[in-house]
Amino acid sequence: MERFTRPGDAVLDPFTGLGTTFFAAQATGRVPWGVEANAQRHAWVTARTPFAAHLVHGDSANVRTFGFPAMDFCLTSPPYMPQHHAWNPLRNGDPAHAGYDAYLRGMQQIFRAVRAVMRPGATVVVQADNLVGEGALSTLVWDLGLALSDVMALEGEIVVTWSDDGAAEPFTQCLVFRVA
């Protein structure tokens, strides 16, 4: 966050979850904004911040309708979906939106909405991991990179390595996009 922003900048997380980006923005003098679809997570974060009014309980695909100011930076980790699953986490498992291709199209829809609230030239960082499970590799990072590069310009990636603390995953990847 410090690499891409200055104190006072508006920082968006369209998948706020338990507030990692939200609280990091707040702690470093940035102004946090976010969207969280899960009511319990939304309540948990809003109970712990003076910026509760900046976190909307809703669908991040509708971020344009929430009255947010122009954002200087976006840092998020979206819900993951393995390629071999039908249950789409963006649609709460709705069978009408089943499958990995529907998930990737949904991510494009969400990031088109995100792009619309970003300042021109702003940076969007999407953290994700490739997934290994049930004998299959899901190339989530690569697939998100390709899908979202239809929405924003992919500038590169940052690989974050974790300390040798026995973590299941020794690193994570952050895709860096620029909004035109």
Number of independent structural domains in the chain? 1
Two structure tokens written together for 139: 């190339």
Q: Burial, 39: exposed, middle or buried (Cβ in 10 Å; 0-12, 13-18, 19+)?
A: exposed
Check residue 135 and give its pLDDT.
81
Would you say residue 52 lies in a domain? yes
Element (H, E) at 26: helix 20-27
The pLDDT of 16-42, averaged and rounded, is 97
Give the pTM: 0.94
CA gap 30, 43 in Å, rounded: 21
- Assess whether pLDDT exceeds 70 at residue 142: yes
Query: What is the per-residue pLDDT across 85-133, written as a single tens digit (0 to 9) for each?
Result: 999 999 988 999 999 999 999 999 999 999 999 999 999 999 999 998 8
- Assess whether pLDDT exceeds 90 at residue 63: yes
Domain that holds residue 33: 10-178
Better pLDDT: 19 or 169: 19
Would you say residue 1 lies in a domain? no
Q: Burial, 114: exposed, middle or buried (Cβ in 10 Å; 0-12, 13-18, 19+)?
A: buried
Find where tokens 């948990």 sit: 44
Cβ pair 58, 37 in contact under 8 A: yes
| CATH number, domain with residue 36 | 3.40.50.150
Would you say residue 2 lies in a domain? no
CA gap 167, 164 in Å, rounded: 7
Would you say residue 75 lies in a domain? yes
Residue 160: strand, helix, or coil: strand
What's at 94, amino acid-wise? Answer: D
Would you say residue 4 lies in a domain? no
Would you say residue 3 lies in a domain? no
CA gap 46, 17 in Å, rounded: 11
Using pLDDT thresholds of 50, 70 and 90, give the confidence band for residue 168.
Answer: low
Would you say residue 172 lies in a domain? yes
Number of C-beta neighbours around residue 34 at 10 A? 29
The pLDDT of 43-51, averaged and rounded, is 98
